[in-house]
A and B are shown apart, each in its own frame.
Chain A
Amino acid sequence: MTEALRTPASQQAVQERLPPELLPPGEGFVGILKRDLLLAFRHRGELANPLIFFIMVTALIPIAVGPQKALLSQLAPGMIWVMALLGTLLSSDSLFQSDYADGTLEQLIISPQPLWLLVLAKISAHWLVTGLPITLAAPILGLMLALPEAGYATLVLGLAMGTATFSLFGAIGAALTVALRKGGVLLSLIVMPLYFPVLIFGSAAVQRVVDGGSAGAPLALLGAVFAFALLLSPFATAASLRAGING
């Protein structure tokens, strides 16, 4: 070690450089958010997959069970929520996969920016391209499934929070399974239990309103789960990525 520490005489004149100043943490967040949205735009075909799945399956239900309005409106809240869950779950798998494969994930992990903030940027981008379209398309599907008029506002509000929670919890599972080649099934097993409360409160809220009650309580609980996920997920995901990247 002493041998290695000694600097050659010719280079002793070289001045010690000052370290660069740190960038504000917001920079990395904006950079990754923009990058992921741009990437999603470049891969428009893949981008539409969860939405197409969501619309197609919901459109098939009236054909399969028959067009009786009474039956469909009974099924509607639960069906729409289940499809929204599956739509986001299917796309969570790829959240970190391509970044892992091309080495950019390693760059994120060793960047001086806080990793949880970069992870939050990735999750935000994921919600903007999967959860948000599903939320916006939900009223149309409600119409197809003869959802009573009273339920629409609650459905959209609930899905906005619910799909965001799905993305947040999905990220933890995606980070844990990032180095596994066939992590899809394991991912579902890890995040499913976390998805259940969202599913229960979300569909209960719509059902309550449709039955003439108030959706206040289930929506508040849904909001609480969302807030919990928002606080927990970026840190859990960042820690999982550090552990998961080395297989």
Chain B
Amino acid sequence: MAFAALGFERDDVPLFDGLSGAVAAGDILQIAGGNGSGKTTLLRILSTALTATEGSLHWRGIALALQRAEYLADLVFVGHSPGIKLALTPRENLSWLARLYPVREQDIAEALVRVGLAGLEDVPCRTLSAGQQRRVALARLVIARATLWILDEPMTAIDQDGVALIEELLRAHAEVGGAVILSSHQALNIDGVRVLDLAEYACHD
């Protein structure tokens, strides 16, 4: 995955420009920057939910626009909001999500146990705490077959155990040749994390 000379303007106000970077198999790239520096915007551009004002995106060496479906099938994006239905149970949420993305031959129940939601598989998500709802979203990482993970603040509302779990998931994913782009305010306890600081690309008037 490579992105080059990305720029983004909101209502004619430039947010960042000339932003370039890449992740290869086994890479973890952390996007750093203060509030409002455009971390979420950048991640949404990389996940194609938003279109950059300028710049280009490449996936496996080919322009992304030419292979949108292939790229999206190879991507899991967990955004700011967990992206789950609160009226449904964790199990039901994962089963509809699993029909959108290529998933492993792994039981959804196992994935939920893995993210620490054993015993909560069949209660509506609205009764779960914010951290538990985020864990439901993170269970998608366990079942997905995607190579690239894009995570926006995955540690939000997550307790210490949960942070350790996320770091464990990231490490395991990098080891098997996956790539991760994430934004986080905390430093990650993983070796070889590269940091991209958005402050260097910010546009000042």
Contact = CB atoms under 8 A, between A and B. Distances in A.
A17 B92 contact: no
Interface stretch (B67-75, B110-118, B153-161, B164-172): B67-75
Contacts of A63: none
A104 B49 contact: no
Q: Say what secondary structure dominates the interface of chain B.
A: loop
B84 A102 contact: yes
A4 B100 CA distance: 32
A218 to B, nearest CB: 40
Interface in B59-97: 60, 69-70, 72-75, 77, 79-88, 92, 95-97
B117 to A, nearest CB: 18
Contacts of B75: 110
Contacts of A30: 99
Interface in A37-88: 38-39, 42-43
B86 A102 contact: yes
5 contacts: A5-B24, A11-B174, A31-B97, A32-B96, A102-B84
Interface of A: 1, 4-5, 7-8, 10-11, 14-17, 19-23, 27-28, 30-32, 34-35, 38-39, 42-43, 101-104, 106-113, 118, 245-246
A7 B49 CA distance: 27
B192 interface: yes
A107 B72 CA distance: 10
A1 B81 contact: no
B100 A108 contact: yes
A3 B30 CA distance: 15
A19 B73 contact: yes
B20 A103 contact: no
Give the interface centre of A1, A34, A38, A246 by most chain B CB atoms within 10 Å: A1
A21 B69 CA distance: 10
B2 A5 contact: yes
A104 B177 contact: no
A39 B60 CA distance: 38
Interface residues of B, number: 52
A106 B98 CA distance: 15
B50 to A, nearest CB: 6
B14 interface: no
Contact of A14 (B22, B97, B124, B177): B177
B16 to A, nearest CB: 15
A31 B50 contact: no
A113 B100 CA distance: 6
A110 B72 contact: yes
B83 A15 contact: no
A103 B136 CA distance: 14
B200 interface: no
A112 B83 contact: no
Nearest to A30: B99
Report, nearest first, the 9 A-B pairs whose CB atoms are least far apart.
A31-B99, A103-B81, A14-B26, A20-B102, A112-B73, A11-B26, A103-B83, A112-B72, A111-B100
Nearest to A7: B24
Contacts of A42: 87-88, 124
A39 B175 contact: no
A114 to B, nearest CB: 8
Contacts of A5: 2, 22, 24
Contacts of B124: 42
A4 B2 CA distance: 9
B26 A7 contact: yes
A35 B102 contact: no
A102 B81 CA distance: 6
A112 B96 contact: no
Contacts of B13: none
Contact of A4 (B21, B87, B96, B178): B21
B101 A112 contact: yes
B192 A43 contact: no
